[in-house]
Amino acid sequence: MPELPEVETIARGLDERVRGDVIRSVWLGEKPEPLKSPAPEMAAALGSARIARVRRVGKHIVFDLERGLRSAAAKSTQQNTQWVVHLGMTGRLLVASPQAEIAKHTHAILQLASGRELRFVDPRRFGRLAVHHGGFAAPGAEPLDAGFEEFAALFRKRRTPVKSALLNQKLLSGVGNIYADEALFRARVRPRRRAARLTRGELRLLYRSLKRVLQEAIRAGGSSISDYVDADGDEGFFQLRHRVYQRTGEPCTACRTPIRRVVIAGRSAHYCPRCQV
DNA sequence: ATACCGACCTGTCAGC
DNA sequence: TGCTGACAGGTCGGTA
Protein backbone atom coordinates (compact mmCIF):
# COMPACT_ATOMS: atom_id res chain seq x y z
CA MET A 1 0.00 0.00 0.00
CA PRO A 2 2.11 2.77 1.22
CA GLU A 3 5.07 4.61 -0.19
CA LEU A 4 6.89 7.55 1.28
CA PRO A 5 4.04 10.11 1.09
CA GLU A 6 1.48 7.72 2.55
CA VAL A 7 3.83 6.59 5.34
CA GLU A 8 4.71 10.22 6.08
CA THR A 9 1.02 11.11 6.32
CA ILE A 10 0.31 8.17 8.60
CA ALA A 11 3.34 8.85 10.83
CA ARG A 12 2.41 12.53 11.23
CA GLY A 13 -1.15 11.60 12.10
CA LEU A 14 -0.03 9.03 14.64
CA ASP A 15 2.47 11.43 16.17
CA GLU A 16 -0.31 13.96 16.73
CA ARG A 17 -2.61 11.38 18.25
CA VAL A 18 -0.47 9.08 20.38
CA ARG A 19 2.71 11.02 21.22
CA GLY A 20 3.14 10.99 24.99
CA ASP A 21 0.72 8.13 25.49
CA VAL A 22 1.82 5.08 27.48
CA ILE A 23 1.37 1.50 26.31
CA ARG A 24 -0.50 -0.39 29.02
CA SER A 25 -0.62 -3.84 27.47
CA VAL A 26 -0.03 -5.61 24.22
CA TRP A 27 -1.89 -8.29 22.32
CA LEU A 28 -0.12 -10.02 19.45
CA GLY A 29 -2.00 -12.30 17.06
CA GLU A 30 -1.63 -16.05 16.86
CA LYS A 31 0.02 -16.24 13.51
CA PRO A 32 3.38 -14.68 14.13
CA GLU A 33 4.28 -14.01 10.50
CA PRO A 34 4.37 -10.24 10.79
CA LEU A 35 6.72 -10.32 13.77
CA LYS A 36 10.37 -9.90 13.00
CA SER A 37 11.19 -9.92 16.69
CA PRO A 38 9.98 -12.76 18.95
CA ALA A 39 6.57 -12.05 20.46
CA PRO A 40 7.66 -12.17 24.12
CA GLU A 41 10.51 -9.78 23.44
CA MET A 42 8.24 -7.42 21.58
CA ALA A 43 5.58 -7.48 24.27
CA ALA A 44 8.24 -6.80 26.90
CA ALA A 45 9.72 -3.90 24.94
CA LEU A 46 6.33 -2.28 24.34
CA GLY A 47 4.63 -2.92 27.68
CA SER A 48 4.52 0.22 29.90
CA ALA A 49 6.72 2.16 27.49
CA ARG A 50 5.92 5.79 26.71
CA ILE A 51 5.65 6.81 23.05
CA ALA A 52 8.02 9.75 22.83
CA ARG A 53 7.54 10.34 19.15
CA VAL A 54 6.32 8.76 15.89
CA ARG A 55 8.22 9.43 12.69
CA ARG A 56 8.89 8.07 9.22
CA VAL A 57 12.16 6.52 8.07
CA GLY A 58 11.96 5.39 4.44
CA LYS A 59 8.77 3.35 4.29
CA HIS A 60 9.01 2.48 7.99
CA ILE A 61 7.00 3.99 10.82
CA VAL A 62 9.23 4.38 13.87
CA PHE A 63 7.87 4.72 17.40
CA ASP A 64 10.55 6.08 19.75
CA LEU A 65 9.93 4.48 23.12
CA GLU A 66 10.90 5.64 26.61
CA ARG A 67 10.82 3.79 29.87
CA GLY A 68 9.32 5.38 32.94
CA LEU A 69 12.63 6.30 34.53
CA ARG A 70 12.65 9.13 37.03
CA SER A 71 16.09 10.65 36.98
CA ALA A 72 17.57 12.41 33.99
CA ALA A 73 20.76 10.42 34.50
CA ALA A 74 18.89 7.17 34.24
CA LYS A 75 17.15 8.44 31.12
CA SER A 76 20.37 9.40 29.43
CA THR A 77 21.87 5.98 30.02
CA GLN A 78 18.85 3.93 29.03
CA GLN A 79 19.02 2.07 25.80
CA ASN A 80 16.87 3.80 23.25
CA THR A 81 14.31 1.44 21.85
CA GLN A 82 12.12 1.75 18.79
CA TRP A 83 9.07 -0.10 17.62
CA VAL A 84 9.40 -0.27 13.84
CA VAL A 85 6.39 -0.98 11.65
CA HIS A 86 6.53 -1.69 7.94
CA LEU A 87 3.06 -1.69 6.38
CA GLY A 88 3.93 -3.87 3.40
CA MET A 89 1.20 -3.59 0.76
CA THR A 90 -1.97 -3.60 2.82
CA GLY A 91 -0.94 -2.80 6.38
CA ARG A 92 -2.82 -0.20 8.42
CA LEU A 93 -2.23 1.35 11.83
CA LEU A 94 -5.42 2.64 13.35
CA VAL A 95 -6.22 4.47 16.55
CA ALA A 96 -9.49 3.01 17.74
CA SER A 97 -11.81 2.95 20.71
CA PRO A 98 -11.76 -0.40 22.53
CA GLN A 99 -15.46 -0.72 21.74
CA ALA A 100 -14.83 -0.53 18.00
CA GLU A 101 -15.24 -3.82 16.21
CA ILE A 102 -11.98 -5.67 15.64
CA ALA A 103 -11.40 -5.85 11.92
CA LYS A 104 -10.57 -9.11 10.20
CA HIS A 105 -6.77 -9.55 9.86
CA THR A 106 -5.96 -7.60 13.01
CA HIS A 107 -2.52 -8.87 14.11
CA ALA A 108 -1.60 -6.58 16.99
CA ILE A 109 -3.37 -4.34 19.48
CA LEU A 110 -1.66 -1.95 21.91
CA GLN A 111 -3.85 -0.73 24.76
CA LEU A 112 -2.97 2.86 25.62
CA ALA A 113 -3.19 4.64 28.96
CA SER A 114 -5.48 7.23 27.37
CA GLY A 115 -8.07 4.48 26.93
CA ARG A 116 -7.63 4.14 23.19
CA GLU A 117 -6.07 1.31 21.22
CA LEU A 118 -3.51 1.26 18.45
CA ARG A 119 -4.31 -1.57 16.05
CA PHE A 120 -2.27 -3.15 13.28
CA VAL A 121 -4.41 -4.64 10.52
CA ASP A 122 -2.89 -6.32 7.48
CA PRO A 123 -4.85 -8.67 5.17
CA ARG A 124 -1.95 -9.75 2.99
CA ARG A 125 0.48 -10.04 5.89
CA PHE A 126 3.38 -8.50 4.01
CA GLY A 127 3.76 -5.97 6.81
CA ARG A 128 6.40 -6.40 9.51
CA LEU A 129 6.70 -5.44 13.16
CA ALA A 130 10.07 -5.27 14.86
CA VAL A 131 11.80 -3.95 17.97
CA HIS A 132 15.12 -2.15 17.54
CA HIS A 133 17.61 -1.11 20.15
CA GLY A 134 20.01 1.74 19.67
CA GLY A 135 18.85 3.60 16.62
CA PHE A 136 17.03 2.52 13.51
CA ALA A 137 18.29 3.61 10.11
CA ALA A 138 17.11 2.77 6.62
CA PRO A 139 19.82 1.54 4.27
CA GLY A 140 19.17 4.01 1.45
CA ALA A 141 19.21 7.78 1.13
CA GLU A 142 16.12 9.82 1.97
CA PRO A 143 14.94 11.19 -1.37
CA LEU A 144 13.73 14.44 0.19
CA ASP A 145 17.03 15.08 2.01
CA ALA A 146 19.59 13.89 -0.53
CA GLY A 147 21.48 16.52 -2.51
CA PHE A 148 21.82 16.21 -6.26
CA GLU A 149 25.39 14.89 -6.23
CA GLU A 150 24.47 12.15 -3.77
CA PHE A 151 21.43 11.28 -5.88
CA ALA A 152 23.42 11.19 -9.12
CA ALA A 153 26.10 8.97 -7.56
CA LEU A 154 23.48 6.30 -6.81
CA PHE A 155 22.82 5.82 -10.51
CA ARG A 156 26.37 5.85 -11.74
CA LYS A 157 27.56 2.38 -12.80
CA ARG A 158 24.08 0.90 -12.44
CA ARG A 159 23.17 -1.03 -15.55
CA THR A 160 19.74 -1.86 -14.21
CA PRO A 161 16.66 -0.10 -15.65
CA VAL A 162 16.26 3.29 -14.00
CA LYS A 163 12.84 2.20 -12.75
CA SER A 164 14.42 -0.69 -10.82
CA ALA A 165 17.08 1.62 -9.41
CA LEU A 166 14.40 3.99 -8.11
CA LEU A 167 12.61 1.07 -6.43
CA ASN A 168 15.82 -0.28 -4.84
CA GLN A 169 15.50 0.62 -1.16
CA LYS A 170 19.24 0.25 -0.63
CA LEU A 171 19.75 3.21 -2.94
CA LEU A 172 16.75 5.38 -2.06
CA SER A 173 14.38 4.62 0.82
CA GLY A 174 10.74 5.31 0.35
CA VAL A 175 10.16 5.33 -3.40
CA GLY A 176 7.64 2.75 -4.58
CA ASN A 177 5.88 1.88 -7.81
CA ILE A 178 3.53 4.86 -8.01
CA TYR A 179 6.07 7.60 -7.42
CA ALA A 180 8.79 5.95 -9.50
CA ASP A 181 6.44 5.95 -12.52
CA GLU A 182 5.19 9.47 -11.83
CA ALA A 183 8.69 10.89 -11.36
CA LEU A 184 9.91 9.25 -14.59
CA PHE A 185 6.98 10.69 -16.52
CA ARG A 186 7.65 14.18 -15.20
CA ALA A 187 11.34 13.77 -16.05
CA ARG A 188 10.40 12.49 -19.56
CA VAL A 189 12.57 9.38 -19.11
CA ARG A 190 11.44 5.87 -20.07
CA PRO A 191 11.45 3.36 -17.21
CA ARG A 192 13.59 0.83 -19.09
CA ARG A 193 16.49 3.20 -19.72
CA ARG A 194 19.70 1.96 -18.08
CA ALA A 195 20.33 4.06 -14.99
CA ALA A 196 23.98 4.69 -15.82
CA ARG A 197 23.06 5.90 -19.31
CA LEU A 198 21.01 8.90 -18.18
CA THR A 199 22.61 12.20 -19.06
CA ARG A 200 23.45 14.62 -16.30
CA GLY A 201 20.58 16.80 -17.47
CA GLU A 202 18.13 13.89 -17.29
CA LEU A 203 19.39 12.97 -13.83
CA ARG A 204 18.89 16.52 -12.65
CA LEU A 205 15.37 16.56 -14.03
CA LEU A 206 14.62 13.19 -12.44
CA TYR A 207 15.99 14.40 -9.12
CA ARG A 208 13.76 17.47 -9.18
CA SER A 209 10.72 15.56 -10.46
CA LEU A 210 11.00 12.95 -7.74
CA LYS A 211 11.26 15.53 -4.97
CA ARG A 212 8.39 17.52 -6.37
CA VAL A 213 6.07 14.59 -6.85
CA LEU A 214 6.76 13.29 -3.34
CA GLN A 215 6.22 16.71 -1.77
CA GLU A 216 3.04 17.30 -3.75
CA ALA A 217 1.75 13.90 -2.70
CA ILE A 218 2.51 14.56 0.96
CA ARG A 219 0.54 17.81 0.71
CA ALA A 220 -2.34 15.84 -0.80
CA GLY A 221 -2.27 13.30 2.03
CA GLY A 222 -0.93 10.50 -0.18
CA SER A 223 -2.58 8.40 -2.88
CA SER A 224 -5.61 6.32 -1.96
CA ILE A 225 -5.94 3.23 -4.10
CA SER A 226 -8.50 0.69 -2.90
CA ASP A 227 -7.83 0.64 0.82
CA TYR A 228 -5.30 3.24 1.91
CA VAL A 229 -6.39 5.59 4.70
CA ASP A 230 -4.36 7.65 7.15
CA ALA A 231 -4.35 7.37 10.95
CA ASP A 232 -7.69 9.21 11.10
CA GLY A 233 -9.25 6.94 8.50
CA ASP A 234 -9.21 9.72 5.89
CA GLU A 235 -8.29 9.09 2.28
CA GLY A 236 -5.57 10.95 0.43
CA PHE A 237 -6.32 12.44 -2.94
CA PHE A 238 -3.04 12.39 -4.87
CA GLN A 239 -4.39 9.50 -6.97
CA LEU A 240 -6.42 12.13 -8.79
CA ARG A 241 -3.18 13.65 -10.00
CA HIS A 242 -1.50 10.48 -11.24
CA ARG A 243 -0.49 11.07 -14.85
CA VAL A 244 0.64 7.55 -15.79
CA TYR A 245 0.26 5.16 -12.84
CA GLN A 246 -2.65 2.77 -13.53
CA ARG A 247 -3.76 4.85 -16.53
CA THR A 248 -2.95 2.18 -19.16
CA GLY A 249 -4.65 3.02 -22.45
CA GLU A 250 -5.84 6.43 -21.26
CA PRO A 251 -4.56 9.51 -23.09
CA CYS A 252 -1.37 11.15 -21.91
CA THR A 253 -2.15 14.42 -20.12
CA ALA A 254 0.45 16.16 -22.27
CA CYS A 255 0.08 14.66 -25.79
CA ARG A 256 -3.02 12.39 -25.75
CA THR A 257 -0.97 9.30 -26.76
CA PRO A 258 -2.32 6.23 -24.93
CA ILE A 259 -0.33 5.37 -21.79
CA ARG A 260 1.53 2.08 -22.10
CA ARG A 261 2.05 -0.61 -19.46
CA VAL A 262 5.06 -2.93 -19.44
CA VAL A 263 6.52 -5.28 -16.83
CA ILE A 264 10.01 -4.51 -15.51
CA ALA A 265 11.55 -6.83 -12.94
CA GLY A 266 8.12 -8.22 -12.14
CA ARG A 267 6.49 -4.84 -11.45
CA SER A 268 4.21 -2.97 -13.79
CA ALA A 269 5.59 0.24 -15.23
CA HIS A 270 3.45 2.90 -16.89
CA TYR A 271 4.74 5.52 -19.30
CA CYS A 272 3.93 7.70 -22.28
CA PRO A 273 5.74 6.32 -25.36
CA ARG A 274 5.77 9.78 -26.94
CA CYS A 275 6.75 12.09 -24.07
CA GLN A 276 9.28 9.76 -22.46
CA VAL A 277 12.50 8.88 -24.29
C1' DA B 1 28.78 -8.57 -7.22
C1' DT B 2 24.52 -7.75 -9.65
C1' DA B 3 19.97 -8.39 -11.34
C1' DC B 4 15.91 -10.95 -12.37
C1' DC B 5 11.94 -13.92 -10.73
C1' DG B 6 9.12 -16.44 -7.85
C1' DA B 7 7.37 -16.69 -3.29
C1' DC B 8 5.05 -14.79 0.42
C1' DC B 9 -0.61 -13.70 1.39
C1' DT B 10 -5.53 -12.17 0.65
C1' DG B 11 -8.83 -9.69 -1.92
C1' DT B 12 -11.02 -7.83 -6.00
C1' DC B 13 -12.40 -7.48 -10.54
C1' DA B 14 -12.94 -8.76 -15.48
C1' DG B 15 -14.14 -12.28 -18.55
C1' DC B 16 -16.18 -16.48 -19.74
C1' DT C 1 -23.93 -17.45 -10.31
C1' DG C 2 -19.48 -19.21 -10.10
C1' DC C 3 -15.03 -20.32 -11.63
C1' DT C 4 -10.33 -18.82 -13.23
C1' DG C 5 -6.72 -15.84 -13.95
C1' DA C 6 -4.58 -11.41 -13.65
C1' DC C 7 -3.35 -7.96 -10.74
C1' DA C 8 -2.40 -5.11 -6.40
C1' DG C 9 1.07 0.27 -2.84
C1' DG C 10 6.61 -4.39 -0.92
C1' DT C 11 10.53 -7.20 0.15
C1' DC C 12 13.13 -11.54 0.39
C1' DG C 13 16.10 -15.32 -0.98
C1' DG C 14 17.59 -18.28 -4.50
C1' DT C 15 19.60 -18.54 -8.89
C1' DA C 16 21.93 -17.15 -13.15
**Would you give per-residue pLDDT tens digits along chain A (277 residues)?**
599 999 999 999 999 999 999 999 999 987 656 778 888 999 999 999 999 999 999 999 999 999 876 556 555 556 689 999 999 999 999 999 999 999 999 999 999 999 999 999 999 999 999 999 988 988 899 999 999 999 999 998 899 999 999 999 999 999 999 999 999 999 999 999 999 999 999 999 999 999 999 999 999 888 877 666 666 777 788 888 899 999 999 999 999 999 999 999 899 999 999 999 9
Give the separation between CA A120 and CA A128, rounded to whole angstroms: 10
- In sequence order, the 6+-apart residues with CB closer than 8 A to the CB of A160 are A168, A194, A195, A265
A182: helix, strand or coil: helix
pTM for the whole thing? Answer: 0.93
A145: helix, strand or coil: coil
For residue A64, the 8-state DSSP code is: E
* Closest residue to B6 measured CA to C1′: A266
Q: Are A44 and A258 in contact (CB under 8 A)?
A: no
Label the pairing between strands A60-66 and A23-28: unpaired
- In sequence order, the 6+-apart residues with CB closer than 8 A to the CB of A256 are none
For residue A252, the 8-state DSSP code is: P
Range list of β-strands (E), A29-172: 50-57, 60-66, 81-86, 92-96, 106-112, 117-121, 128-133
Tell me, yes or no, if A267 is annotated catalytic: yes
Other beta carbons less than 10 A from residue A150's beta carbon:
12
Give the separation between CA A45 and CA A132, rounded to whole angstroms: 9
pLDDT at A240: 82
Nearest alpha-carbon partner for A93 in A134, A135, A51, A132: A51
A228: helix, strand or coil: coil
A209 touches strand C (CB under 7 A): no
Give the separation between CA A32 and CA A35, rounded to whole angstroms: 5
pLDDT at A256: 96
pLDDT at A73: 59
* Closest residue to B10 measured CA to C1′: A124
**Through-space separation of residue A107 CA and nucleotide C14 C1' in angstroms:** 29
* Closest residue to B7 measured CA to C1′: A126
Other beta carbons less than 10 A from residue A236's beta carbon:
23
Tell me, yes or no, if A59 is annotated catalytic: yes
Give the separation between CA A138 and CA A130, rounded to whole angstroms: 13
Catalytic member of A6, A8, A56, A59:
A59
Q: Are A13 and A232 in contact (CB under 8 A)?
A: yes
Buried-exposed string A188-198: b where 16+ CB fall within 10 A, e elsewhere = bbbbebebeeb
- Those nucleotides of strand B lying less than 7 Å from any protein Cβ are 2-12
Other beta carbons less than 10 A from residue A125's beta carbon:
16
**A59 nearest nt, CA–C1':** C10
- Those nucleotides of strand C lying less than 7 Å from any protein Cβ are 7-12
**Through-space separation of residue A238 CA and nucleotide B5 C1' in angstroms:** 31
